[in-house]
Amino acid sequence: MQTALLIASLLSPVLAGTYSRSSNIVGEGFYNAFNFEAIPDPTDGRVNYVSEATAKADNLTFASANTFILRADYKTVISDSSSTGRNSVRIRTNAAYTTHAAVFDVEHMPQGCGTWPAIWETNESNWPAGGEVDIVEGVNDQGTDQITLHTNPGCTMPSSGRTQTGTVVGTDCDAEANGNAGCGVKSTVASSYGPSFNAAGGGWYAIERTNTFINVWFWTRDASNVPADVRAGGTSVNTGGWGTPTANFPNTDCNFPNFFDGNNIIINLTFCGDWAGQSSVYASSGCPSTCVDYVDQNPSAFQNAYFQFNSINIYT
């Protein structure tokens, strides 16, 4: 019996899941599915998150029948002495999700020195006890996508033996340890983040969350291995046909129901802050000046600091 249970636990991360679409978010539908959060940035970024009304008035968001845009201000010079950073956007779904799959069809992501774009899931009111899954995250146009969990103390990931194509960069998910680095996995695909992602025409990110594992995938736009149900964005998906995930987080040493609540999807663009603005991180990216000075004084550098979504499909 013990052998059978061990085999089942090892196989669980790759078991197929079939899901039906519960939400198809496209174009103007983003305004119904998400709310704009004009809140102080919890990552201490050089940013001013604005309301939906302000974002629309200032052209920081707009939509067509099949496109949704979120962007930062790229016209205003900011005084370094100002307590207000560059205007930008942060949105959160009205719905929260536990067991689910989600597919993000992204045409363009924010790029530029000082930028810190993210697509993630969490329960803000219960962070970090409710868990956090960073699906898309990176800084300063540097490197590839980093997929990370952040939790209460007690959730860890194995350093090896996981069914994934990415590289482990941390195993302790505790948000109170290691400067909140979390337990991360780096994609090995150059086009998974930043200018390389945009040059390739974007692509698809997907997550599957269950009580026994969390998996995240990435496929670039012109890849031959994009699953047909992902590309189609249809009414159902079967994750068993999605191939090896970029990141696999098993429940080996993390009982997911104890560490993850129903989580909202959050999309945001901040600048500098606790990660992108670290002097060593910013300097290693080859960016000029200091992060805050650059973000304040060079608005035109952020013309490409925008998200363009074709759709988000949620499957439950």
137 is catalytic: yes
- Residue 124 designated active-site: no
Q: How far apart are CA 46 and CA 4, in angstroms?
A: 52
Out of 28, 132, 176, 208, the active site residue is: 132
Which amino acid does the sequence have at 300? S
- Domain borders along the chain are 18-315
Give the sign of the dihedral formed by CA 28, CA 267, CA 301, CA 184.
negative
pTM of the model: 0.94
Q: Which of 37, 121, 137, 208 is catalytic?
A: 137
Asked if residue 124 lies in contact with residue 35, where contact means CB atoms within 8 angstroms, the answer is no
Q: Is 125 helix (H, G, I), strand (E, B) or coil?
A: helix
**Between the CA of residue 172 and those of 10, 145, 156, what are the distances in Å?**
20, 19, 5
Give the number of C-alpha atoms closer than 13 A to the C-alpha of residue 70, restricted to the C-beta side. 30
Cβ atoms < 10 Å from Cβ of 255: 12
Asked if 87 and 198 touch (Cβ cutoff 8 Å), the reply is no
The residues, ordered by sequence, that sit 6+ positions from 168 with a Cβ below 8 Å of its Cβ are 157, 159, 160, 162, 184, 185
Query: Which CATH number is correct for 18-315, 3.40.640.10, 2.60.120.200, 2.40.30.110, 3.40.50.2020?
Result: 2.60.120.200
pLDDT tens track of the chain, all 316 residues? 333 333 333 444 445 699 999 999 999 999 999 999 999 999 999 999 999 999 999 999 999 999 999 999 999 999 989 999 999 999 999 999 999 999 999 999 999 999 999 999 999 999 999 999 999 999 999 999 999 999 999 999 999 999 999 999 999 999 999 999 999 999 999 999 999 999 999 999 999 999 999 999 999 999 999 999 999 999 999 999 999 999 999 999 999 999 999 999 999 999 999 999 999 999 999 999 999 999 999 999 999 999 999 999 999 9
